[in-house]
Structure 1
Amino acid sequence: MRPRSGAGPGHQNACATLYGAFRLYSGKIDQRRNAPMRKPADLAYGLDDRPPLRVLLTAALQQTAIIVVFIYPAILIGRAVDAPPREAAAILSLTFLTCGLSTLLQAFGRGGFGSGFLAPGSAAGGFLAPSLLAAQNGGLPMVAGMTMAAGAATLVFARMLRRLRAVLPPEIAGTVALIIALVIALTGVRLLMHGPEGEPPTARGLFVAAVTLAVAGGLSVWGKGMLRWTCVLVALAVGSLVALALGETDSRASVDLATIPLVGLPQLGHIGYDFDIALLPAFLVTALAAAVRSVGLLTTLQKINDADWVRPDQRSIAGGVSGDGVTILIAGLLAAPAANMSTTNITVQGATGITSRIIALGTAGACFLLACFPRAAALLAQVPAPVIAAILLQAGAQMMVNGMQLATSRMLDARKTLAIGLAFITALGVAILPEMRDLVAPSWRPLVSEIALGTIVAIGLNALLRIGIRRRVSLTVPGDAIDEKAVADFATRAGASWGARPDVVARTTELVSWCLDAIIDARLARGDITVTLAFDEFRLDVLVAYHGAPIELAAAPPSPEELLQDDGAGARLAGHMIRRRASRATVRHRDGLTELRLVVDH
């Protein structure tokens, strides 16, 4: 209702209350716009916190232990090329060196390289299949050359992410994270249920896995202080001790420790490079799948570290994928297996509540130290299979929840539902029917994996189904009345059909109501008012058109005195709130037609 001149004391109090509420509300808007990343309550030490030295050391040891556990691609590639002991030790040492460099680059990189998060690197299991294929065709030099090509491709993909963000929205990144979680969990199940020679699981192995999972999960849920912060490390130690006591010590990638030097700097005599164009498609698609995987992991990291997270930070994601590209390139130059940010290392941060990037210093230092003690590193890598399986099951469960939250962070329409559902079913189908790989040529089989094929389907379907995604809907309301419910229903139906975020739809509904209230209250319109909404994935456009005088988007709010004395002050207050609340707001008046255009960033 418009304020009237000559109003009584009751109306003056109402105006004063309205003005005070406006000042408080606008102050909250400014706080939200200018607020830094807010640490969630369940994090003990957030991204910029500096934990005590004992916490830093134990957390770094835990992160390093996970890197050690998943160093097996380096061992397997050394076996595939029939490397002599010193060369096998060099491959192992250089992989640890690469992981340490990756950890530092992701946490503290500059110039567009590095995500700014604690994202330790580990040997990339996703590159194992094409790397083994390259090893069969040309030995270690072929692995090195093709890995370098994959690193260069990853750098190109990182530079294209901003342009490709339309086909990589949060729900697709969440789907990829969900597929990764599925692969991690199924890997744990296979490792637990099938021995090295395909034999069935033993009661001792199942018991070791159950103890490990109980310790890791129990400490992450009920543990306090140091016990929670080191839940994975404690579980690895307890599980390994139980396995040792029961004689369940077989590993999936055992090595003869006597053939590995005790101490020494990494040897570089084995380094050489080769290239085969026939293998390039497999490495390129694997690099693309790894880049999309990193997008999902980095989005998860952003969500873990920011209580007010609403959308991915594209700059951090591009920097993180670029950091992975540099890491893979360095691995190729050193003739070591490809490495990139580790899913398990990222996942345990949510369980432990420690995400401080300072821990990257201790983790990288431990990796550099292990690079100089190859026998100790190889010994630590002999973690029993049931223990690894339990850790994978916990990491898969944690990642699956994060992936589901990301995939459903928006209102899903038929397009997104189809893309997400079919991508997940494709990944599950490959996991259930691995013989599907036999349907393609050997050089293409690395592409028929859960993550690679599921990612391709998710991205491809999302891109295809974007055809016609920019749509417009209109609503006409009388210029002398407004039906609040009709406006709310109109915006809600449109937002649901587009798959927009619920909070953006609510904000748009609020803005449209303010606009109509101000126009009708000030009697600006002559005839009907038309409201048009348009959506293109990244923003929601609002066009309010009517014949009549333009609404004023005041730069400053009216004073309490103006609200009491000026009949148009109420409309100016509404116009000022519209200007502040919208991401962008403009008014155009020509030939008697007024067009108010608002943009709400999505």
Structure 2
Amino acid sequence: MKDTPTAQVDELYSPQRMIAFGLQHVLVMAASPIAAVFLMSKALGFDAALTTQLLSATFLVCGIGTLLQSFGPAGIGAKLPFVMLPGGAPIILFILIAQQTDLPTASGAVILSALLYFLIVPIFKRFLRYFPALVIGIMLLLVAINLAQISGKLIAGTPGTANFGDTDNLLLALITIVATVLFARLLKGMCRQLAILLGLVVGALAAALMGDISLSGVGSGPLLALPSPFPFGPPNFDLIAALPLLLFTLISMVEATGQTIALNEVLGKEDEAEQQAQVPNTIRGDGLASLLGGIFGTSLIITSGENIGIIRATQVRSRYVTAVGGLFLILFGLLSPLSALISVIPAAVIGATGLVVFAIVGTMGIDMLRKVDLRSHSAMYVVATALAIGLLPIVVPGIYDQLPSQLRLLLSNGVAMGALTAAVLNYLFIHVGQRSPKTAPLHHS
């Protein structure tokens, strides 16, 4: 097989490498399903048994979704090294719907939203040509900033709480980041590619030495955790109640477009038509994984931008590696002691690891924007305006809280708003009227 980025997508490594690289993907992103379930549990008053069941179901569905995206059977999944995770915004919307109505209605809203993915794809793919490198570059920058903010909160805690800026957490984050950088600089070969995982392990060991890890509850539960479908009873389908999640589905499609094109860039696939052809498959994979999420009691399960940063950092591009990661997620879902073991890793350690990965995603956005002539008057204003609109809800959380709920839902998603603003302005500046030579590069990927 030729040693090119494109060929490496289908590369098979030795079993030891596959296991190590797959585990790296999972551990770096393990905080997402754990945080999502614990947030639901706290907000909706679930007991310990139901919380454990939902954590198991979330890991299981994320694993199945990751396998779908890695292998892409029957056009469901992009055949790309994606890892699937519960989206932060969908979890919040699930909680709000459940609080306003009931849990069966919230599950019904997830199922309706999952079906909408399949219904909208034929229409949505007609608009993919309006998402060139300029739009995707801006989206990646906003994704990185948004995720970095989340990682920062994992490290520092919530402002206004007693443990905000705790020095132990800051020290753990510093140790994790320094260890990751040192491994990336000093190690060679496979060990260098595992720098992110090794940095996380060093951070966890430091936490154990500092007394910040307790393993007392790891083996207390049952060995096997088999999630049950419809844990809240038969779903109730209410279109009005489901509207917030249905609207987010459209936003999610924009994000999936950016992630698919960005991942193709990392993989060395420069054919724009080939990149866009894979977007509907990514969206259908999101749809089926989300449908399973609705059946097993969680919210939408979608492709994550985090693993794109891991692939860029490690240069391990094989979709079979993420497939192994998917098997690990399924294993964590079925064996409760494993998921309990992951959950004891301090948030500050995972947050520090994520901070490095998300910053790498930001460098990818910068790299894509380098292909655009930003000295052009049009390009300058497209980028500046899109970043302004996208950054506002990220750097000033709650700025739109006084607006009607549906409008607030749209405007508060800085990533989607920045990307949509860039797409609209790119269309107005480039596709309407005469095109000038200086703005032509906005079409190139």
With normalisation by structure 1, the TM-score equals 0.67
Distance 1:54 1:232 in 2: 17
Higher relative contact order (CA 8 A, sep 6+): 2
Query: Which of 348, 362, 380 is the equivalent residue of 2:342?
Result: 380
Which amino acid is the alignment partner of residue 288 of structure 1? Answer: L
Superimposed CA distance per residue, residues 301-327 of structure 1 (whole angstroms, 9 cap, x where no aligned partner)? 111111766776211222112211221
Letter in structure 2 aligned against 1:39? T
Q: CA deviation at 1:38?
A: 6.9
Match of 2:229 among 268, 272, 284: 268
**1:205-231 CA distances to partner (integer Å, 9 max, x unpaired)?**
211101111222332344312322222
Change (3 A) 1:416 1:326: farther
8 Å Cα contact 1:170-1:311 kept in structure 2: no
Task: Pick one of 281, 302, 306 that aligns with 2:264.
Answer: 302
1:459 CA displacement: 3.4
The answer for the alignment partner of 1:597 in structure 2 is none
CA shift digits 1:9-65 (9 cap, x unpaired):
xxxxxxxxxxxxxxxxxxxxxxxxxxx99724xx9x921211111101111111222
| Cα deviation, residue 267, structure 1 | 2.6
The residue aligned with 2:361 is 399
Indicate yes or no: 2:166 matched with 1:202.
Answer: yes
2:82 alignment partner, SS class: coil
Gaps of at least 5 residues in structure 2 are: none
SS at match of 1:437: coil
Which residue identity is paired with 1:267? S
Residue of structure 1 equivalent to 2:82: 119
Is residue 76 of structure 1 aligned with residue 35 of structure 2? no
Aligned equivalent of 1:246: 210
| Cα distance in 2, alignment partners of residues 69 and 203 from structure 1 | 21
SS at match of 2:101: helix
Report the equivalent of 1:19: none
Overall identity of the aligned pairs, in %:
23
**Cα displacement (A) at 1:400:** 0.4
Q: CA 1:267–1:284 in structure 2 vs 1: closer, same or farther (change >3 Å)? A: closer
User: Contact 1:173/1:292 (CA < 8 Å) preserved in 2?
Assistant: no
Match of 1:500 in 2: 441
Counterpart residue number, 1:286: 248
Task: Give the root-mean-square deviation of aligned CA atoms.
Answer: 2.9
Structure with the higher fraction of residues in helix conformation: 2
Distance 1:443 1:133, change over 3 A: farther
Alignment counterpart, residue 227 of structure 1, candidates 187, 191, 200: 191
Distance in 2 (alpha carbons) for counterparts of 1:458 and 1:126? 21
- Out of 382, 395, 407, the residue aligned to residue 419 of structure 1 is 382
TM-score, normalised on structure 2?
0.89
Which whole-Å CA distance do the structure 2 matches of 1:74 and 1:240 have between them?
22
Task: Please give the per-residue CA displacement for 1:119-159, whole angstroms capped at 9, x wherever unaligned.
Answer: 11122223222122112123432331122222223334433
1:434 counterpart SS class: coil
Contact 1:157 1:291 in 2 (8 A): no
Which amino acid counterpart does residue 231 of structure 2 have in structure 1?
H
Q: 1:258 to 1:176 in 2, by over 3 A?
A: same
Residue by residue, what CA displacement relative to the aligned partner does 1:495-541 show, whole Å, maximum 9, x if unpaired? 21x3337xxxxxxxxxxxxxxxxxxxxxxxxxxxxxxxxxxx58xxx
Which of the numbers 302, 307, 315 marks the counterpart of 1:353? 315
Q: 1:159 and 2:101 equivalent?
A: no
Structure 1 gap segments, 5+ residues each = 1-35, 472-493, 502-536, 539-601
Summarize the Cα distance change of 1:156–1:38 in structure 2 as closer, same or farther, 3 Å threshold.
farther
What is the CA–CA distance in structure 1 between the aligned matches of 2:184 and 2:122, rounded to whole Å? 37
Report the number of matched residues: 440
C-alpha contact 1:81 1:139 (8 A) present in aligned 2: no
1:60 partner amino acid: G
1:367 aligns to what?
329
How far apart, CA to CA, are the structure 1 residues paired with 2:72 and 2:335? Answer: 27
Contact 2:139 2:416 in 1 (8 A): no
Amino acid at match of 1:348: I
Q: Kindly provide the CA deviation profile for residues 400-421 of structure 1, in whole angstroms up to 9, marking residues without a partner as x.
A: 0111222342335444432322
| Aligned position for 2:426 | 462
- Does the CA-based 8 Å contact 2:230-2:297 persist in structure 1? no
Secondary structure in 2 matching 1:122: strand
Say whether the 8 Å CA contact 1:50–1:356 is kept in structure 2.
Answer: yes
Given residue 301 of structure 2, which amino acid in structure 1 is its aligned partner? A
Change (3 A) 1:79 1:457: same
Match of 2:4 in 1: 39
Greater C-alpha radius of gyration: 1
Q: Which residue of 1 aligns with 2:297?
A: 335
2:20 maps to 58
State the Cα distance separating 1:436 from its structure 2 match: 0.9
For the 8 Å contact 1:268–1:334, the answer to whether it is kept is yes
Indicate if the aligned counterparts of 2:107 and 2:236 stay in contact, CA closer than 8 A: yes
Structure with the largest fraction of strand: 1
- Tell me how far apart the structure 1 counterparts of residues 137 and 244 of structure 2 sit (CA, whole Å): 24
Say whether residues 1:100 and 2:63 are aligned partners. Answer: yes
CA distance in 1, matches of 2:153, 2:267: 32
